[in-house]
Every structure is written in structure tokens, then in C-alpha cells.
Amino acid sequence: MATVGELLRAASDLPGEEAARDAEILLGHCLGVTRSWLYTWPEREVCANSAGRYRALLARRREGRPVAHLTGERDFWTLSLAVNEHTLIPRPETETLVAWALELDLPAATAALDLGTGSGAIALALASERAGWSVVGVDRSSDALAVARANGARSALAAVEFLRSDWFHALGGRQFDLVVANPPYIDPGDPHLDRGDLRFEPRGALVAADAGFADLQAIARDAPGHLGAGGWLLLEHGCEQGPGVRELLRACGFGQVATRSDLAGLERVTGGQLGAD
């Protein structure tokens, strides 16, 4: 039988810049152990069944399949979330939006809306930190909503309300103190769409017309009709779109407009307060 160390070393040819980390995640998934356990017991022999499952996952990873799709889950904020081909894979840069939202001076009983919720990552992260908030997540994809609802139950946050809606369309006159979104913002012609994990994620959750600005513009235009006085809008966007999104928010009546950078130092989230100077 192969040992833990031998199986990890057999994955050195995986694609991407984090081959070792990917191998650790996949082997840990097959064995039901943590990555630290793997390094504590590198000489431990692995049964043939588990080793076979692991080698099968390595083969799919060599084809380019995202690790999160192979394991069926991804950590985000303090949560472990189920993911599949119907949702975007939650990424660390989106935690920049969550952190900013939690810093805002908002009412104790804030009504928050997550547009294009996908796996429910942002909505559930906010609800996990603010028990007094009323959080709604909407998505136009029924398949994505099924994942989000399952994650709500998995995270013991079933009180988060998930609804089918194309942005604000099904919400009627509902009002919120906070609207957040990680909408499609990639130009349809961007070559990165044919590389890495993006090849396997839902294209409709990634690309937008008008050089990636179409959905950002639609949300900024309609958000004031669903925000109370002094309400906030936070939008994730591409790392080169910050100037355009700042201009867009100001044109739509938002003040206190600013942009936050992610851990890589790239402009990632722009927000503003309705009616503020």
C-alpha cells in the first residue's frame, strides 16, 4: 500500500501554481482528515480504496476540473459551503466585501440583500456574524438557489431567505438598509475565461456586456429604489473597473463613494451611501 507521503508526491504534476495544496485538499477529502494530519503522519499507509479514489480525483484535476468541484465544497469566511457547477466558487477576494459590510454603521435590525447569491456565500457570511439582521439572497438560477438553501441548512442559518429573482425584479417595493452583490463583470472576450477554473463555472455568472459593466450599471441604477435613506450599496468588480464603478455610483446618487482593495492589493469592491455628501 502507498503511504500518505508517496501519494502527495505523486501529484507534483497537477496544473496551476498550488499543486501541493490541491493534492493535500484532495487526499484529505478522501481520508476525512485535515491537511495538518497529512504532515503529521506521512508514513501512514492508505488503504487501496481511498488511494484509488484519490488517484481518480487527481486524474480529473489534471483535466483542469476545479478542486472545489471535485470535493463538492469550499471554505468561505468561517463557513464550509457546498458548491457545484451551477454556482461560482467562492473566492477569498469576496471576503473583502463581507468585511466592509460588517464594518458599516448600520441598524441592529438591518435588512440586507445579496444580489446574485449563487452558493449563498455572502448572505450566509453576513447572517453568521449578525444574528439580528434580516438577510435575503436572490438569484435567477433555480439550480443555484437549491445550493444556497442547502448551505443555509448546512450552516444552521436556515433563517436566511432565498428567492428567485433577476436582480430586483421579483422584490416589489421591499426596502433594505444594505445591498451587496458580486455580479458578472468579466468582458465576454476576456481570454481568462478559457483558462483555469473559470472554464467550468457558469458563464452567465461571470460575463456581462459593455466590457463587463452591464450588470454593475443595472444594479447601481435600480438600487436607490430599494434602499432606505442612508442605505449602502457594495459591489465587487474587476481589478481595473474601480474608476468606472466609482463614477457610476456617484451618477446614481451615492455619496461617500470609496473602493477597497483585496489582499493582493487589487481594487476589488466599491461602495457608497445613498444620498450622502
The domain that holds 94 is classified in CATH as 3.40.50.150
Threshold 0.75, pTM exceeds: yes
- Residue after which a domain boundary falls, among 25, 47, 64: 64
pLDDT at 147 over 90: yes
85 in the same domain as 60: no
270 in the same domain as 248: yes
41 in the same domain as 19: yes
CA 106 to chain centre: 23
148 in the same domain as 177: yes
- Extended beta strands in the chain, E state: 73-76, 79-82, 111-115, 134-139, 161-164, 176-181, 227-236, 254-261, 267-274
216-229: per-residue pLDDT in tens? 999 999 999 999 98
100 in the same domain as 79: yes
45 in the same domain as 103: no
- Residue after which a domain boundary falls, among 16, 47, 64: 64
Q: What are phi and psi of 111, to 5 degrees?
A: -100, 115
219 in the same domain as 96: yes
Residue type, 247: E
- Residue after which a domain boundary falls, among 43, 64, 85: 64
202 in the same domain as 81: yes
66-96: per-residue pLDDT in tens? 999 999 999 999 999 999 999 999 999 999 9
Domain count, the chain: 2
Range of the domain at 55: 4-64
CA atoms of 157 and 122, how far apart (whole Å):
12
The domain that holds 42 is classified in CATH as 1.10.8.10
pLDDT at position 17 is: 77
202 in the same domain as 96: yes
